[in-house]
Amino acid sequence: MDAQAQAISLDVLAESLNLGLGHVIEELAEISNSKIELHVPEVNMVPKNEALTFTSMLRSAGKAIFVQQRFSGEITGEALLFFSEEESLNLLNGLLSENEQSLIEFAATEEEMLLDLTNVAVSGVIYALSNLLGIRLNTELPRCEYGYFDDICGSTSLLDDADDMVLFLTISFTVVKKNSRAQLMFFQPRDTLEKLYDHIQKRLGL
């Protein structure tokens, strides 16, 4: 696949993801009962290890939360989201209604909320993808893991083969009412990436 085709594919992907995220934002606004400001998402194809450098801040933040959500169908892949504990609590507190007590530590309730939130975001993205590609994708429910960044990274095969290219999607949004900001990072392993491009190019008739 030539570079130009790849660049076009990436633009198309970003655009369709952007559209899909519009629905996600709507849903989050409804949940939080607050306006949500979406920052223009960044879509990059980067080697895994480079993607991981984005997560370096998580290393210094101590405890981290990983949320994994698989999808299958004509393309199989998984989304992996990283949050620092502080960031996740900040995000969740932003979504809580005014009369709820603030969350100060990550526990079962927070985990369930984060799964809910991740599912909204990932489902939105997957839906946007399947719409773009005109294919049917089955999404599984997300799973969550909580612990020290290095421990989790060390035990996840997903992060093997550091040179593999991944789709790295950064979604930043602000819950206006609470002025809390969050960043979701999404990546997808290389093997499915090729298929993804194929589908995009077929769809675009390239």
**Site stretch for other proteins (CB under 8 A), options 9-17, 39-47, 52-60, 132-140:** 132-140
Among the listed residues 10, 12, 47, 127, the single contact to other proteins using CB under 8 A: 127
48 contacts 162 by C-beta, under 8 angstroms: yes
203 contacts 132 by C-beta, under 8 angstroms: yes
Among the listed residues 100, 151, 161, 194, the single contact to other proteins using CB under 8 A: 100
**Site stretch for other proteins (CB under 8 A), options 35-43, 118-126, 148-156, 161-169:** 118-126
> 99 CB contacts (<8 Å, ≥6 apart)?
none
Q: How far is the CB of 70 from other proteins (least distance, A)?
A: 11
Among the listed residues 13, 80, 95, 153, the single contact to other proteins using CB under 8 A: 95
Segment (H or E) for 143: strand 143-148
How would you label 23-33 residue by residue, b for 16+ Cβ within 10 Å and e otherwise? ebbebbbebbe
Shorter beta-carbon distance to other proteins: residue 74 or 164: 74
What is the contact mask toward other proteins in residues 133 to 162, using x (rule: CB under 8 A)? Answer: ---xxxxxxx--------------------
Give the CA distances from residue 1 to residues 29, 95, 168, in Å, rounded to whole numbers and listed in that order. 39, 42, 19
Cβ neighbours of 160 (radius 10 Å): 9
**113 binding other proteins? (CB under 8 A):** yes
Q: How far is the CB of 119 from other proteins (least distance, A)?
A: 5
Site for other proteins in 30-89 (CB under 8 A): 30-31
**119 binding other proteins? (CB under 8 A):** yes
Cβ neighbours of 116 (radius 10 Å): 13
**Site stretch for other proteins (CB under 8 A), options 46-54, 56-64, 96-104, 147-155:** 96-104
Among the listed residues 45, 79, 89, 96, the single contact to other proteins using CB under 8 A: 96
Whole-number Å distance between alpha carbons of 67 and 56: 17
DSSP three-state, residue 107: coil
Whole-number Å distance between alpha carbons of 203 and 196: 10
Binding positions for other proteins, rule: CB under 8 A: 27, 30-31, 95-96, 100-101, 104-105, 107-109, 112-113, 115-117, 119-120, 123, 126-127, 130, 136-142
